[in-house]
Structure 1
Amino acid sequence: MPVLRALSKAARQALLAPGCGCPPLAVAVRSISFSPRQVTNDASFHSVSFSETDHPKVLITGGLGQLGVGLAKLLRKRFGNNNVILSDIRKPPSHVFHSGPFIYSDILDYKNLREIVVNNRITWLVHYSALLSAVGEANVSLARAVNITGLHNILDIAAEHGLRLFVPSTIGAFGPTSPRNPTPDLCVQRPRTIYGVSKVHAELMGEYYHHRYGLDFRCLRYPGIISADSQPDYAVAIFHDAIKTGKFECNLKPDTRLPMMYIDDCLRATLDVMEAPAEQLTMRTYNINAMSFSPEELVAEVQKPLPDLQVTYNIDPVRQAIADSWPMNFDDNNARKDWGWKHDYDLPELVTTMLNFLGADSRIARAN
């Protein structure tokens, strides 16, 4: 398959470069012993199952991003170090490589991916591999290959081997015609980026595979995720700039409201939905949320411990247009009702946590 191999090489080049800027019907999950792909008559497949007392064997694709590394750490504490395998096409840093199992995995290489699942007796698959918005818009054909063709490989292998599959979705899966405040789980979705379009595709394909093949597909629409290592949007940059320089220039309007979540809540929500009994899930894709705030509200909270912080606004029309097309607030009542989702971090707790984490050797630490 020379075309697939060529795309795979292109995917390596793109992912090695720095990136920037992630029907309501309950149906009983059934184990299957076939793949939706055509296979030879003498092929023999079986669903890998484990008892309630056993730990799942987890594979995380695209695992070198902040969410993959963080989730691996959480899952290893829960299930044991050797039961969670990180994978990526990039070379891992030493601390990640030595923290637990790591393996090379190219999601565009169906045979390689299938061998990993079989040889390691994988039972859970967390699929984080994707090209994000900026990289995707710069190379739509590559984004289509990684985000859609790669997803199809994942879906087929997960269905073939009876895996529990998690694929994250995003605030970017909604568009300017979606209701914005609040945005429900089920509504019009017409995103205008290839990343958003590919995530809507993933939601619908996962739901289809669940109903058609019994695939145990689970998906969460993440809001903006905040951590010290997040992509440098305003809600992360303000903390770095406040500590380093005491000055911050915001590229969004002061009253631009967006849903946000601290990374620890995001990772815990992912584990919670994966562990939820299938019979409790009334849908396959859920919104999750923790807080919703505007730049001016975040600034006011940061200025409580750092009253000398100087803030100016220099609106970026491109970023502002994107923010104006996204939800202002996620309605996550279904997640809270079905599987008990509850966030730990509100805005004051977020600000305290971020400043304490980043400010250990800074002026804020000295001020305390």
Structure 2
Amino acid sequence: MVFCTVTFTLTNCSNDENLEPSIEVLNPLENPENGPAAGNPDGDSPIPAEAGTEDVTNPDSIVGDGTPESCTCDAVVDAVAKGGKITFDCGPDPITIIMDKTAKVFNDANRDVIIDGGGLVTLSGNGTNRILYMNTCDPDQVWTTDHCQDQDHPRLTVQNITFADGNSINETEYDGGGAIWVRGGRFKAVNCRFFNNVCASTGPDVGGGAIRVFSQYNNLPVYIVNSTFGGMQGYGNTGSNGGALSSIGVSWTIINSLLSYNKAIGNGGNPAQSGTPGGGSGGAIYNDGNTMTLTVLGSLIEQNEVIAYGSSIFFVSNDHSGNIRIDNSVISNNIGGSWYPVYPSISMHSDTPIEVTNSTIE
């Protein structure tokens, strides 16, 4: 899939032309449609069927009527609220849709929510807003079971799409997740790019510059497939912990993906050291909680930065369960931090099982 282009289009559903990005974050990217392609170009690990793209041949909603002007954030918000299979018809050229409000999944609308950008669409928070939100335990999005923390739906898939300039710094109740915040059901991202997204810059237990996830159904993994987080200087994602990805008690399987130039900029770790605000762990990936696994296949993790621990990966299981598996991957040239008991740039308990095959970690 080819993403790179010199075409640039912006549409905005806001009447407020004076919105200014927070001084705590970088200015929005000038041309977010540009930048590195989705995925690790050298990644060739097999992709399980359940981790692949979803069929959107017969969409339930089409954003746009064939023109760039018809593709607005209101149209995206309405489509996501209805759920189902969502595609875009914004014309033949790449387009950036400015999201000045968050698109939110309603738990009673459709068991499946599939957002497919066709390789042409960027959703931009414009440096001021989170882009996408799903939470099975948020009553405002409708409770559908008496066990909201462990239900099998909605099943949210984002594919063939770019998320840029998301910002959740001003979110207080559900913090972290600059581009996407998810709790419950299932979530996966396939053939996606995440550029310049940010969340809170300090705090011991907040993170996910791009994505933050909680409570996946039956402890099944989040799949991240053929996707790019950062990828080059100026495109990386930033948060207190987990510059790209953050979770508590969630398993991840990351396949043929590129995570680079992401930063965990908090300070003091978790729990926060005396006199510090806490955070700064997991330059690319931050996994905390119990009974979880991290699987990295065919992926490249490099040039991520950290203040405290785990310049590439922070994986701490409170009950010392779970494991890490790394195959056919390269983890190198990550910067900063300490506490690397087994492999450089990976912070973990020394008794955490870790299996590394056909990989370079340096």
TM class, shorter-length: under 0.3
> TM-score, with normalisation over the residues of structure 1?
0.27
Greater helix percent: which structure? 1
Which of the pair has more CA radius of gyration? 1
Greater RCO, CA 8 A, separation 6+? 1
More strand by share: 2
TM-score (normalised: structure 2): 0.27
